[in-house]
Amino acid sequence: MEALKKKILTEGEAIGTEIVKVDGFLNHQLDVRFLEEIGAEFGKRFADRQVDKILTVEASGIAIACVSAPHFNYAPVVFAKKAAPSTMNEGFYEAEAKSFTKGTVSKLKVAKKYLNPGEKVLILDDFLASGEASVALAQIVEMAGAEVAGIGAVIEKGYQGGSDRLRAKGYQVESLAVIDKIDDGVITFR
Amino acid sequence: MEALKKKILTEGEAIGTEIVKVDGFLNHQLDVRFLEEIGAEFGKRFADRQVDKILTVEASGIAIACVSAPHFNYAPVVFAKKAAPSTMNEGFYEAEAKSFTKGTVSKLKVAKKYLNPGEKVLILDDFLASGEASVALAQIVEMAGAEVAGIGAVIEKGYQGGSDRLRAKGYQVESLAVIDKIDDGVITFR
């Protein structure tokens, strides 16, 4: 998605060789008008897929899922939680995912009642790096007896191999911008 | 907002005398089509206010802010973070807020660069209970030399006194549904 690449280059910040920071429109401040274009693009990429539900992870993923839902006939959005609030008193599915930027391991949790057997579930997230979060979400979908309709990421760090890992499991993976290399502040797209 | 009260009664779950759980459309699963109506309602309630930016807190607040932004000429949304990722390496404003449902104290953080002196900032959130989170967000707005344009909450727990506390500070507070009492599973609206 050319507009996204341009936005990353003009507003993003490359740190070292691993991190691209896009807090100006995706991870801290949200440019909702631009995110709506992202939602429309996911709508196109997965236009031939049946999508009964959209699954993401808190926090930034929520914005992505919300702007995408209208393009999937307002399929319900479910966001996995990283910590269970005291009101989460019913059964839930749980899978572990490591956060690259936070250096922590999160146990992603989804209440059982919000994923049903046979549902086609589209997984959306802001970043795809090693694929840990997507794998965890896909595990949760499969624990529920539901099916992964596809996996979409706004920005993929291609050099971390996540999409290869996910495609090897048979999933359709769509990343709207794939970064091949970050070197001394310079971002190279695939 | 009548449609919201009806939705709370049909899909919400009252627990004890304190908690109303609306995980089915607001806090875990998101009904984006319905949330769009909520965004439009905030647009009406604050139609006469200048809104340069919308400020909320992760996680559920992000959905509310995203559906509201189109009704404020796509004002940028900023969400306060409860934990600072390793990429948050610049100066930030910080204020403490206690979470009623999680029983924890969060230090809400907003990077300084995303709030500017003189901006009119609308604070939006899913719940308004004791008002702790809104007070913390208002403190952050004021630390930045910006101004609170108003405070909007989807659901107010009227019996916890938060809105009185905020109005006493001079803020316009708009709650779309005010719960006066929860008693043995029965919700009474104001």
Res. A139: pLDDT tops 90: yes
Of B29, B101, B102, the CB nearest to A77: B29
Residue A89 CA to residue A8 CA, distance in Å, equals 40
Measured at the CA of B74, the angle between CA B66 and CA A45, to 5 degrees, comes to 60
Of A23, A76, A110, the CB nearest to B111: A23
Res. B102: pLDDT tops 80: no
CA nearest to B134, candidates B95, B92, B180:
B95
B40: left (phi over 0), alpha (psi -120 to 50) or beta: alpha
Contacts of A63 in chain B (CB under 8 A): 62-63, 66, 77
Of B29, B66, B101, the CB nearest to A67: B66
Q: What is the pLDDT of residues A89-127, one digit of tens each?
A: 679 999 999 876 667 889 999 999 999 999 999 999 999
pLDDT number for residue A184: 86
Q: How confident is the model at residue B66 (pLDDT cuts 50, 70, 90)?
A: very high
pLDDT number for residue B88: 63
Res. A164: pLDDT tops 90: yes
Least Cα separation, residue A144 to chain B (angstroms): 15
Domains of chain B (ranges; CATH) run: 2-189 (3.40.50.2020)
Contacts of A101 in chain B (CB under 8 A): 85-87
pTM, full prediction:
0.95
pLDDT number for residue B100: 67
Q: Which of A40-44, B100-104, B149-153, B167-171 has the lowest mean pLDDT?
A: B100-104
pLDDT number for residue A88: 63
Least Cα separation, residue B7 to chain A (angstroms): 15
Res. A145: pLDDT tops 90: yes
Residue A69 CA to residue A42 CA, distance in Å, equals 10
Here the ipTM equals: 0.95
